[in-house]
Copies of this chain bind each other. A is one copy, B any other.
Amino acid sequence: MGAVPAWPPQSTPRLFVDDLLQPGERRIEGPAAHYLLSVMRLKSGDPVKLFDDRTGEWLAVVRAAGKRDLTVELTERLHGREAAPDLWLCAAPLKKGRIDWVAEKACELGVARLQPVLTRRAVVDKLNLDRLRAHMVEAAEQCGRTALPELTEPVKLPALLRDWPAERALFFADETGGEPAAAAMRARSGPAAVLIGPEGGFDDAEREAIRALPQAVGIGLGPRILRADTAAAAAVSIWMIVAGDW
């Protein structure tokens, strides 16, 4: 079946550029240039895909490859910016890189916003937002997203609940039991969020405060005790299946 080879090939590198993209030539330098030149070994004439979280994804071709920088020409806009499913992930900081993993998975699985939440039992209360964002950018580059999840400043749980949008369902993983996740999510369409506590879980007062929110729905994620990062990935996956774009 002598099929015409696909252009650009599947292996075409994909790069986020934090700058409005438009047709024509642009210079790429710094770490991005190092990645394209030294890791991906791009040469003049090679294709590269760029996206900017604003205009979408563009096809570009390398016009000049130097030692430390390269010039590419944007020739065609391949896609507009995607409309991400309207799901927020509100998650407490976690230790030992688990929160980095949550940021990566949140992006791949398709959340629109990652909202760090500070709770009483949090083992970690400092967050490196730049590092979290870097993990989401890398995930977006590899999973084909044209919209980065919004990464918001950490807020304390009481403030999160006080300012919670009236029309947004808040599905929180309730270790003490809750509605089966899929049924609870299927029953409530529209904007939603998943709230995941820290390693030690919410304390009783926090759980009461969450339950007192009319938009809050406690969900169960099976008979086993899931780590916070596991619960986040499972709950987001289930929402994507029953209410998202999967």
Which A residues are within 8 Å of any B CB, using their own CB? 101, 104-105, 108-110, 139, 142-145, 180-182, 220-227, 230, 233-234, 237-238, 240-242, 244-246
Contact = CB atoms under 8 A, between A and B. Distances in A.
B233 A221 contact: no
Contacts of A222: 109-110, 240, 244-246
Contacts of A108: 224-227, 230
A142 B233 CA distance: 18
A142 B225 contact: yes
Contacts of A230: 104-105, 108-109, 233
A145 B144 CA distance: 36
A104 B233 CA distance: 13
A143 B225 contact: yes
Given A233-B233, A237-B238, A240-B222, A143 B227 contact: yes
Binding site of A, secondary structure by majority: helix, strand, loop or mixed?
helix
A6 to B, nearest CB: 13
Given A143-B226, A182-B246, A233-B237, 9 more contacts: A104-B227, A110-B223, A143-B227, A144-B224, A180-B246, A182-B241, A221-B246, A222-B240, A234-B240
Query: In the assembly, how many copies of this chain are there?
Result: 2
A221 B139 CA distance: 16
Nearest to A140: B224
Contact of A245 (B109, B181, B223): B223
Contacts of A225: 108, 142-144
Residue of A104, A108, A110 contacting most chain B CB atoms (<10 Å):
A108
A222 B245 CA distance: 6
Nearest to A227: B108
Residue of A104, A139, A241, A245 contacting most chain B CB atoms (<10 Å):
A241
Contacts of A143: 224-227
Nearest to A220: B246
A180 B234 CA distance: 17
